[in-house]
Amino acid sequence: MNFACPVCHGPLLVSEDQTCLRCELGHSFDRARQGYWNLLLPQRKRSRDPGDSAEMIQARRRFLDAGYYWLIAEQVGQLLIDRLGQDSSPRILDLACGEGYYTAQIEEALNGAGLTPELIGLDISKPAIRAACKRSQQVEWLVATGADIPVPAGSLDAITLMFSRIMAQPMARALKPGGLLLVVWPGAEHLIELREAIYDQVRKRELSPAEALSPWFEPLHEEKLSFDFEVSSADGLSDLLAMTPHGQRIRAQAREALLERGQLDCHADIRIGIFQRSVEPAALPE
């Protein structure tokens, strides 16, 4: 375990009984009953309960546990094994890990390939990390902000960032020079049927993280993962809505119509990009 104090950025040492982290200046953080560390400072919160709500988390958990996105988890695991396989215990952070589905899948895949990674799952949402604790006891789960990742500078071999906002500078700071960043983001056709059922006009925007990452990262590889899946119950559709931003934007009437239909053929259009932390990156703030 190698964390940095979110107040002074000095190293955090774990107490003998493993229940408390403390830095040299005396800032201390207790381990929560569920097993995670809360390193989110109150002044870092923009709201009382930042990040995804308990309802969104439970919906995402049910949806992901149903296996609809298993292919994504499998491919991410394989890419990490291919790229990190020479190092038997890489230190990997799953940033904005949500309720930990992908983190746990990554752990399983790497263990299956004979690697013993040191895995950290970090999210700003307390309900997300509480749920994540139930997925694995080997992963170090953190409630913290990705805007100030509480690990020593240059201490990570890899970061995974899936379906989440790009926080380029803090990721560059936390990674070793030459470290890997694996980003998963939705392509223009992702969940197109769902969006067509919700919006009068569907915008097909192609997002790419490359520009936001460019001062500190070099693109190494990009691939497209497309597959179809069927959601065949109103509950499944309700979960899919609740775990996407669409759920908050859908009008009541459209929502009712969709749930009444109780079935939707869906298309997943996913991009996976691998970036490398530049060896001589642009200057980073301390």
Ligand X SMILES: C[S@@+](CC[C@H](N)C(=O)[O-])C[C@H]1O[C@@H](n2cnc3c(N)ncnc32)[C@H](O)[C@@H]1O
Question: Where do contacts with Zn ion occur on this chain (CB under 5 A)?
Answer: 5, 7-8, 10, 23, 25, 27
The residue range among 108-116, 140-148, 209-217, 248-256 that interacts with ligand X, by the rule CB under 6 A, is 140-148
Q: Which does 7 bind (CB under 5 to 8 A by kind): ligand X, Zn ion, none?
A: Zn ion
The residue range among 75-83, 84-92, 130-138, 156-164 that interacts with ligand X, by the rule CB under 6 A, is 156-164
Rounded to whole angstroms, the Cα distance separating 180 from 152 reads: 16
Q: Are 96 and 180 in contact (CB under 8 A)?
A: no
Q: Kindly tell me the burial class for residue 31, based on how many C-beta atoms sit within 10 Å of its own C-beta (0-12, 13-18, 19 or more).
A: middle
Task: Give whichever of 146 and 236 is closer to ligand X, judged by the CB atom.
Answer: 146
Q: Taking the complex as a whole, how short is the minimal distance between the CB of residue 91 and ligand X, in angstroms?
A: 18
Binding status of residue 240 toward ligand X by CB under 6 A: no
Q: Are 31 and 1 in contact (CB under 8 A)?
A: no
- Under rule CB under 6 A, which residues in 21-80 are in contact with ligand X? 51-52, 60
Task: Give whichever of 35 and 186 is closer to ligand X, judged by the CB atom.
Answer: 186
Question: How many residues belong to the site for ligand X (CB under 6 A)?
Answer: 18
Q: How many CB atoms lie within 10 A of CB 146?
A: 22
Q: Which does 98 bind (CB under 5 to 8 A by kind): ligand X, Zn ion, none?
A: ligand X
Residue 18's alpha-carbon distances to 33, 121, 178, 220, 257, in angstroms, are 12, 18, 32, 39, 52
Q: Kindly tell me the burial class for residue 69, based on how many C-beta atoms sit within 10 Å of its own C-beta (0-12, 13-18, 19 or more).
A: buried
Task: Give whichever of 187 and 278 is closer to ligand X, judged by the CB atom.
Answer: 187
Q: Are 191 and 200 in contact (CB under 8 A)?
A: no
Q: Which does 25 bind (CB under 5 to 8 A by kind): Zn ion, ligand X, none?
A: Zn ion
Q: Are 227 and 47 in contact (CB under 8 A)?
A: no
The residue range among 19-27, 73-81, 123-131, 229-237 that interacts with ligand X, by the rule CB under 6 A, is 123-131
> For residue 281, what are the contacts with CB-CB under 8 A and spacing of at least 6?
172, 177, 215, 216, 217
Question: Phi/psi at 169 (nearest 5 deg)?
Answer: -65, -50
Q: Taking the complex as a whole, how short is the minimal distance between the CB of residue 161 and ligand X, in angstroms?
A: 7
Task: Give whichever of 123 and 140 is closer to ligand X, judged by the CB atom.
Answer: 123
Q: Which does 51 bind (CB under 5 to 8 A by kind): Zn ion, ligand X, none?
A: ligand X
Q: Encode burial over 215-251: b for 16+ CB neighbours within 10 A, e otherwise.
A: ebbebeeeeebeeebebeeeebbbbbbbbbebbeebe
Q: Which does 215 bind (CB under 5 to 8 A by kind): ligand X, Zn ion, none?
A: none
Determine the length of the chain.
Answer: 286
**Helices 54-65 & 234-243, crossing angle to 10 degrees?**
120
Q: Taking the complex as a whole, how short is the minimal distance between the CB of residue 8 and ligand X, in angstroms?
A: 20
Q: Which does 69 bind (CB under 5 to 8 A by kind): ligand X, Zn ion, none?
A: none
Can you tell me which of 128, 132, 158, 213 binds ligand X, judged by CB under 6 A? 128
Can you tell me which of 63, 109, 125, 266 binds ligand X, judged by CB under 6 A? 125
Binding residues vs ligand X (CB under 6 A): 51-52, 60, 96-98, 101-102, 123-125, 128, 145-147, 162-164
